[in-house]
Structure 1
Amino acid sequence: MKIIDAIKSQSKPFYSLEFFPPKEKKQWDSFFSTVERLKALNPLFASVTYGAGGSTQDNTLEITSRMKHEAGIEPMAHLTCVGASKEKINGFINKLREADVHNVLALRGDRPADEKFSWTDQQLRYASDLVGLVSNEHPDFGISVAGYPAAHPESPTFADDLHYTRVKIDAGSDFVVTQLFFDVREYFDFVSRLRSNGINKPVIPGILPIQSLSSIRRILSLCGANIPGQLYLSLEEANEKGGDDAVKETGLKFAVNQIRQLVDGGAPGIHLYTLNKADMCLELADRVKL
């Protein structure tokens, strides 16, 4: 099943999830316990990451298969350009098909720490290259791409970011999942700019409930997302008064309000960056009550 068909059939907002498979198989039982608990959200699908250069790609393959056949959740496997070749991507997709997994999220991926790495040396340099490859050679697969409400940190302008988003979409992607953000106006402006340029694919907003000051600082440094100053000040104040628990509660309340505004404004669903935290996601959904 292509996920886009499930999205189009929805009559009300839905949840989708992102999971980060543990590298060590000894942690898999705990991981799948989390997956089972989050089935309570009735997720429309779940994306499954893998490490840079496909370093945990075999784990992704096995986990996506188990997620579909044992947990009953439609999985979407990540693909990245780093260290990839057409042969490797085609081989991985064929293995996904054998596992009855038919959806991927096409990403350029993060630059590795290796100082010798160069994007010009990569056979597949852009997410649009992956989209075109999958779309042309594997038409039975559904394809999603990432969107950046505040623009990708490497984009010189918002216009450039919009252009490259369109390139990815025109290459054959079905829908967009956004990078995490904290200002709902960025999402609605991003969607408005896409629509004004004739792009009408579904855009699913990505939401990350804040766990602690240290975790959000680390995540922001990795993804380049923005955080409103007032929110950051409220998190610092909460941390001073009650530590991580107070920060988590402040972040949870903020995420609940975000989701309500997004759904009320017409977002088709909510993509939760779970951090493999079942309690957090279940509490969030209980408060939102989609």
Structure 2
Amino acid sequence: MFVKDMFRRGRPVVSFEIFPPRGGVPVEEVYRTLGAIRDLKPDFVSVTYGAGGGTRDSTLEIASVVKNRFGLEVMAHCTGLCHGPVEVDEMVEDLMYEGVYNLLAMRGDPPRDGGVPRDPAFPHAVDLIRHLRLAFGDEVCIAAAAYPEGHVEAEDLEEDLRYLKEKVEAGVDFLVTQLFFDNELFYRFMERIRAMGIGVPVLAGVFPVLNPKQVERIVSLCGVSFPPKFTRMVARYADDPGALAEAGVAYATEQIVDLLAFGVDGVHIYTMNRPDTTRRIMNNIGLVSGRG
């Protein structure tokens, strides 16, 4: 099923994001995660793609297992920076052969050791989106990333919103946002993109912070801002991992409840392959999301 059709059901779409294992962790760990969250019945599961295409085979395998073993709808990340048109087409054809027709088209991050072509075929996400739509037409459902506070590489939010509109006009069916911790920034973002004529559904990305290292990584990679309430939470429980994890779940739950009250199209939960955390959040929001 195309994810774009799920938004017509009359209730918020809820999706989970998982990532292929790294550092020698066996892929079976991901399957245990999937087994533990299967009964939560997310509308779909998103499978990430490593920098430079480093997890291509794992992404394909996991996406197939999500769809064909666990019976859940799936969206596979598809990046273009380090791939040419032939590679991209082969990857999408392999996914389609496994029954995966939902794609999140992204530029992708360069590998840490370099390896980016001198003249990449898809230097920006919009280039990949145009290619996918031309090559596969309506056979695929294409999502793109959105950044409520602007992409870290953009000059400012205005520039990033112009790029976002280009992506949507190139053939995007819905958007998934980067994580954020201040809902008011998201609401202002929604007002602005709707005023620009961007009318596709938007999934709001929520990340449950469980330890201080995650906060440091978020700052270094994403450049998102932290509202005072969040900053106080991290400072208060920085030396108590258990308490911070509890507070992180509570904060994410409160965020989602507020987003649902706003009338958001859906919520995308960055699970970090933590089924226990995901289950607690889903139990907390069950009634307000229409899943209780």
In 1, Cα distance between equivalents of 2:269 and 2:115: 35
2:243 to 233, 241, 246: 246
Q: Tell me, which stretches of 5 or more residues in structure 1 are unaligned?
A: none
The aligned runs of 1:253-268 (5 Å cut-off) are 253-268=250-265
Deviation at 1:6, TM superposition (A): 1.9
Deviation at 1:220, TM superposition (A): 2.8
In 2, Cα distance between equivalents of 1:177 and 1:49: 13
The equivalent residue for 1:35 is 34
1:40 is paired with a residue whose SS is helix
Report the residue type matching 1:254 in the other structure: Y
1:11 is paired with a residue whose SS is coil
Could you report, residue by residue, the CA deviation over 1:137-189 in whole angstroms, capped at 9, with x for unpaired residues?
A: 11200000000001111111221111000011110010000000000011111
In 2, Cα distance between equivalents of 1:267 and 1:56: 32
The equivalent residue for 1:6 is 6
- 51-60 vs 215-224, which deviates more? 215-224
- 15-24 vs 55-64, which deviates more? 15-24
TM-score normalised per structure 1: 0.94
Deviation at 1:57, TM superposition (A): 0.4
In 1, Cα distance between equivalents of 2:234 and 2:24: 35
The equivalent residue for 2:53 is 54
- 32-41 vs 128-137, which deviates more? 32-41
1:271 is paired with a residue whose SS is strand
In 1, Cα distance between equivalents of 2:98 and 2:114: 36
The equivalent residue for 1:112 is 111
The equivalent residue for 1:148 is 147
The aligned runs of 1:18-97 (5 Å cut-off) are 18-23=17-22, 27-97=26-96
> Does the CA contact (< 8 Å) of 2:63 and 2:74 recur in 1?
yes
Deviation at 1:41, TM superposition (A): 2.2
> Does the CA contact (< 8 Å) of 2:81 and 2:124 recur in 1?
no
- 28-37 vs 269-278, which deviates more? 28-37
In 2, Cα distance between equivalents of 1:49 and 1:26: 16
Deviation at 1:32, TM superposition (A): 0.9
Report the residue type matching 1:271 in the other structure: H
In 2, Cα distance between equivalents of 1:254 and 1:280: 12
Q: Tell me, which stretches of 5 or more residues in structure 2 are unaligned?
A: none
Report the residue type matching 1:247 in the other structure: L
1:126 to 110, 124, 131: 124
In 2, Cα distance between equivalents of 1:116 and 1:129: 19
1:95 is paired with a residue whose SS is helix
Could you report, residue by residue, the CA deviation over 1:257-288 in whole angstroms, capped at 9, with x for unpaired residues?
A: 10011000011211000000000010111112
The equivalent residue for 1:135 is 133
Could you report, residue by residue, the CA deviation over 1:1-42 in whole angstroms, capped at 9, with x for unpaired residues?
A: 22101222x221231011111147862222112112212221
> Does the CA contact (< 8 Å) of 1:107 and 1:145 recur in 2?
yes
> Does the CA contact (< 8 Å) of 2:80 and 2:88 recur in 1?
no
> Does the CA contact (< 8 Å) of 1:52 and 1:82 recur in 2?
no
The equivalent residue for 2:267 is 270
Deviation at 1:117, TM superposition (A): 4.7
The aligned runs of 1:229-244 (5 Å cut-off) are 229-240=228-239, 243-244=240-241
Could you report, residue by residue, the CA deviation over 1:44-103 in whole angstroms, capped at 9, with x for unpaired residues?
A: 111111211211101111111111010111111111122111110001011111111111
1:200 is paired with a residue whose SS is coil
Report the residue type matching 2:249 in the other structure: L
Could you report, residue by residue, the CA deviation over 1:109-152 in whole angstroms, capped at 9, with x for unpaired residues?
A: 1233346757x621111101111111111120000000000111
